[in-house]
Structure 1
Amino acid sequence: MTFRKWMEYQGLSAASVNNYDTAIKGVISDWAQAADLLQGPLNAVESHQRFAEVSKQIRELEVFRQRNSTGNGMYAAALNKFAAYLKSSCKEDVEDDLSEILSEKDCTETDKITSVKTRLGQGIFRQRLIGYWQGCAVTQYPDTTLLVASHIKPWRESSNEERLNVYNGFLLLPTLDKAFDKGLITFEESGKIKVSEQLEMPELFGISSNMKVRLDKQHQDYLAFHRDCVFRKAPY
């Protein structure tokens, strides 16, 4: 979901949506790039942690302080809204998780490497999923070199045992993995796909309402967590 669409779902006025969206893509991005804080526009940042770091630096720029003051705080409000957008959309922030792993003091280098590989859907976890699914869990696409090992219950919310559990994972095509990771699709107890109303034009992602996945009973608790805590429900 785009930043603009997210703000509309939050009930912001059309004027606020336009002001904040334009500020993030336009002048604030220009200020950040001119100060060598970024190599591209702000809306290209996907990590909440990375945005927090850049946002703090942007707020210290003289041009930002001046323009924000004369603009009655509009630019600061735009940064705050974009931070909230990233926080809501990045259920799984890889950069944050990897930073946490690497900063662990009571962890051996071998354990860190294992954790990093697991977080990235590689190593033992990926091998187990390939052995279990043999192809994409949804479409049965067979070339596993193009498939992504995706946790059902998010890595951050899982215990070390759950992170390596073959029943806590799907092997998916990249588009399906991204939508699943972001909570834009999930699966019912029957295995039938459930598409969030927040996913725009799912057909362009190759996602259709007749898709389903074959489930064992060991998948159910993990999927219940995904439906309750990750899946993006319709706004009220």
Structure 2
Amino acid sequence: MVMQANNPVKALYTMEEIIETLEEHKAVGVTELAEIVERPQSVVHNHLATLRELEYVIKEESKYKLGLKFLQRGEIVRKRLPLYAKGAPAVRKLAKETKELITLIVEEHGRGVYLDVAQDNADIQYPAIPGTRIRLHCSATGKAIMAYMSEDKVEEIINRHGLPAQTDKTITTRDELYEELDAIRERGYAYDRQEFREGMRSIGAPILDESNNILGGLSIAGPTHRFAGDRLETELPKKLLQSVNVIELNYNEPNIQ
């Protein structure tokens, strides 16, 4: 992790590494955790003891894992966002209509965050859960969001996170990305043609406020065999844009006399 704050509190970076490791490994002992984060066992133990006292981690036998207090904090933050309240009904309706994975995404710190996720058909288990963070340049929704940002904001994201390849189809150069963003603005929605995950395609559209500022994005995703032909090019984009229109109308709440 690159420290960008002028006077960073290094203990918080250590705590973040510990939390991320617990997230990745589910349950870890002090010795193993200290080896992973490359800190003395005494330091790791002190952090864990404090986090446990604050009820952010729990201890089972000799191992530690994340507690549900994170869920409480996350839900409070999510419910404070108007886009979540206005978008949730449309997300579930679209999932029911398409039988595909629907995600509502917002940008935070240059990455996409799943604000809401719905799937009516559980034949494929996707690792998409609310709060998951993704790179913007390799997803349809992420690219749709970037298309309506200022160039300065896009450059800031590229400089901070780069354009790494997630699959061999991911856009990895500025020229390709800007060309893609131009096409998205002209079309009104974006495609992910296995750029995010092999065997998976998605369609994403921006959600704008009444001043055309970007609020977030909505996407439909699924396996390549179901995302082809007229369904990919016409049927799904139409349903997606209809849902975005509903969200925007509800969000902007026009006064009808």
TM-score (norm 1): 0.31
Which structure is higher in strand share? 2
TM-score (norm 2): 0.30
Which structure is higher in helix share? 1
